[in-house]
Amino acid sequence: MIPRILPFAVYVGFLALGEGIAWLSQGVPGLDSWGPVADLWLYPLKAAVVFGVLAYFWPRYEELKGRSFGSGREVVFALATGILVYLAWVRMDWPWAMLGIPTGYDPFQAGEGPGIVLAGVRVLGATLVVPVMEELFWRSFLLRYLIAARFEAVRLGAATPFSCLATIVLFGLEHHLWLAGMLAGAAYTLLLYRTGRLWPCILAHGVTNLALGIHVLVTGEWWWW
């Protein structure tokens, strides 16, 4: 249980830390510059720590051993799922489908040189680290844990109406764009159900995040980050 929960908990902890620093920077005189600086530099630290936790527990992830992405057809299905989620995501920014107002992440606020490094770290973290961490928590752990406390005895890809709906809703509420998040959660859960493996979900999730990162860098629409 801990190997699948802890990376996600660390990630959420860094999010809470960032929110706390932002709140302090707005409420305490003289600390108004802390928020933007912390927001820029907490992400590389967050990605590095989460990566370290995943690497430490890697031998414990039985669902990531053996066959990886499956057949060629399943790879195409995963890639198409990732692209379709991205295309839907950038069209679902309706005000009523948002939780709060996303501030976005503009790495070039740190300057051109550091900005290039921060942008690269952001893309790599969102493409290679976040999908592994989130899929291990949401679709390997929680989806099965809501069926039985001894979740490892539950077949990967098994779901009940309650476990499926609860996981999709909570996954959506994790994001500013809650409706887009629920759509993504439903798509990745369907992929898990169809393939019975976690790697296709990680691949699709990574493709979505990579496409969104390219979109942000090309358009300068930092609020998607």
Give the pLDDT score at 180: 96
The DSSP string of 96-140 is GGBSS------GGGG-HHHHHHHHHHHHHIIIIIHHHHHHIIIII
Report how far Cα 57 is from the mean position of its chain's Cα atoms. Answer: 18
Token pair of 157 as six digits: 């890809």
What 3-state class would DSSP assign to 177?
strand
What 3-state class would DSSP assign to 164?
helix
The DSSP string of 57-92 is HGGG-GGGSS--S-SHHHHHHHHHHHHHHHHHHTT-
The tens place of each residue's pLDDT in the chain, 225 residues long, gives: 999 999 999 999 999 988 888 777 776 665 666 666 777 889 999 999 999 999 999 999 999 987 677 788 899 999 999 999 999 999 999 999 999 877 789 999 888 899 999 999 999 999 999 999 999 999 999 999 999 999 999 999 999 999 999 999 999 999 999 999 999 999 999 999 999 999 999 999 999 999 999 999 999 999 999
Q: How far apart (Å, rounded) are the C-alpha atoms in residues 225 and 223?
A: 5
Give the pLDDT score at 36: 67
Token pair of 142 as six digits: 């929680």
Q: How far apart (Å, rounded) are the C-alpha atoms in residues 67 and 199?
A: 9
The dihedral region occupied by 148, where left means phi > 0, alpha psi between -120 and 50, and beta the remainder, is beta
Residue 49: CB atoms within 10 Å:
16
* Structure-derived torsion over alpha carbons of residues 130, 135, 137, 141, reported in degrees to the nearest 10: -170
Residue ranges per domain, the chain? 66-224
Token pair of 53 as six digits: 């936790």
